[in-house]
Amino acid sequence: MKCTNYCFKPLGLLFLLCLIPLWAFSQNITVKGVVKDATGESVIGASVVQKGTSNGIITDIDGNFTLNVPSNSTIVISFVGYKTQEISVAGKTQINVTMKEDTEMLDEVVVVGYGQMKRSDLTGSVVSVNDQAIKKSVPTSIDQVLQGRAAGVQIQANSGTPGASTSIRIRGINSLNATNQPIFVIDGVVVDSATDDENSNPLSSINPSDIVSMDVLKDASATAIYGSRASNGVIMITTKRGQAGEATVTYDGYAGWQEMPKQLDMLNLRQYAQHHNDRSALGLVEQSSSFVRPDLLGEGTNWQDELFSKAFMTSHNISVSGGNNKTTYAFSGGFLDQDGIALGSSFRRLSLRANIDTEIKSWLRGGVNFSFAESKQNVGTDNNTIMSALIQQPTVAVTSPDGSFDGPDDVWMPENPVGLASIRTNNNRKTNFRFNTYLEANLLKGLTFKTELSADWNFNNYYYYQPDYQFGIKTSDTRTSRWTKTNTKYWSWRNILTYNNTFAEKHNINVMVGQEMSHSNWETQVGTATGFLSNTTPDLSAGDVTTSTTTGSRVVNSIASFFGRAFYSFDER
């Protein structure tokens, strides 16, 4: 028995020693890496997730990721247009990934400048986002559709106001003295996405639910056909069209709440009082009798709570489509109602669209595409107001006992941000008409001629009024009103001859030549008035005529272009 006991002790010790490496191997480690495509370009927004869990992250603008996972786990890397990869961590702390294109997508048709091509025939860099990816999100404008879904495309909001503009960068292109925005081509109509106002987005009039695909042309070979206009890239947008068959009625909609995911850490009243006392002890500021016992004070005013709140948003879209072998149609309507999380901000949009394609003769087709949108944007809180909320003292109350807005007793502090957002009127109304019609003739086998006429009209009315106010010692005796009217009219006429044929089942030739004429007209009128007798009459005509100003400008631009493109492929290689 004694020998048996001694024999079991080393066996038990050996068993414990065997468990140590297993225990160590299952510990969490930090895995870092970079995700790139086959050309070495960083893949922005790729999903990196621990398999079987919700523990994950997306890659940054350089394709980098950092994720804490068990050392014996597996990570899954995925992105639209690329094959999903599973990689065993196996204790590695550095994992670099090269994404491979999904070969099943090579036969899909991609929209390029003035035409379409098979993805396998492309030589330029093109990334696509389809309607399935759009359905998985709730974008309110088409630029948001690309966010995190297109490699090499960076999207940054210029303002938190609903309907505000975004900065779009393709492959990080930046310019010192010109716009960095790409051009958008919607069913053949060129739409300029550039704007001088961070709160105004020219693309907000387009309903994302009407989109069937978006193709981003990124490099020079893909964008060259649009000339210098496309130096920052081109984003091709194709809207939904009717399909032959019985009439189909479709509804999609959603309702939900928005809120700030996290507030910035700011001092409450007790912490602010203690901080003030610490500075006073160093002789930097005077002692305050209000801060003798900081521990007895309350929380004070949390300006982020006062300026931001949960906001409701809802969207409703209905469409009818169908047709027969000769004629197809698609009609749709949408309504978006979005309240902003910032006080006084909101965005409303009504959109209508109609599309008809018909076979006039066996060799001739024609069609028309029409859209209308009207929107109203309220900008109650802008970036300056938000900054005022972040630096305002917690000692200042939002309102005084009499119900009026309170303010600071320090001339160096900003105005009451809640007061400014509440009394100020700042809205933008937009109306947009977009029209496109075409005739396409099959002249010979593989030879087609297409003539197309497009128009895009935008009418914007921007109104701003700020009354006089007194918030504490911060006062303004000036009542200011400003009205801005901007009209943009664009039309273009294109004629395109295309030859696409395959010889001996292996030699494919695709040649296109074309001509386009376009004309743009921008008109702007700005009226400003001050000296109103009261806040109840904010119209420009009620202001002081001696201080009122009116300015205007008009810019006319015409372009005539000739272009061509030729592709040859052998045995689909």
Domain count across the chain: 4
Q: What is the pTM of this model?
A: 0.76
Alpha-helix runs per DSSP H in 215-290: 220-223, 269-281
Any domain includes 369: yes
Any domain includes 162: yes
Round to whole Å and give the CA distance between 209 and 212.
8
Query: Taking Cα atoms as reference points, which of 99, 37, 35 lies closest to residue 67?
Result: 35
Residue position matching structure tokens 């990196």: 48
Has residue 107 got a pLDDT over 70?
A: no
N-term to C-term CA, the chain: 79
- Same domain for 30 and 149, yes or no, is no
Instruction: Tell me if 158 sits within 8 A of 198, measured CB to CB.
Output: yes
- Same domain for 357 and 473, yes or no, is yes
Q: At 141, is the pLDDT very low, low, confident or very high (cuts 50, 70, 90)?
A: confident
Beta bridge partners of 425: 465
Has residue 18 got a pLDDT over 70?
A: no
Any domain includes 266: no
> Range with the lowest mean pLDDT among 106-120, 254-268, 439-453?
106-120
Q: Can you give the CATH number for the domain in which 86 is found? A: 2.60.40.4130
Reported for 6-11, long-range contacts at CB under 8 A and 24+ positions apart, including other chains, are none
Q: Can you give the CATH number for the domain in which 162 is found? A: 2.170.130.10
Reduced to 3 states (helix: H, G, I; strand: E, B; else coil), residue 383 is: helix
- Same domain for 408 and 494, yes or no, is yes
Any domain includes 2: no
User: In the predicted model, what is the mean pLDDT of residues 514-521?
Assistant: 92
Has residue 22 got a pLDDT over 60?
A: no
Mark which of 72, 98, 124 sits at the end of a domain: 98
275-286 pLDDT, tens digit each: 999 999 999 988
- Same domain for 66 and 122, yes or no, is no
Any domain includes 18: no
User: In the predicted model, what is the mean pLDDT of residues 132-140?
Assistant: 75
Burial class (CB in 10 A: 0-12, 13-18, 19+), 282: exposed
Has residue 486 got a pLDDT over 80?
A: yes
- Same domain for 169 and 30, yes or no, is no
Any domain includes 246: no
Has residue 209 got a pLDDT over 70?
A: yes
- Same domain for 113 and 51, yes or no, is no
Domain around 286:
272-301
One-letter amino acid identity for 184? F
> Range with the lowest mean pLDDT among 46-60, 136-150, 404-418, 436-450?
136-150
Round to whole Å and give the CA distance between 53 and 514.
53
Strand 234-239, strand 183-186: pairing: parallel
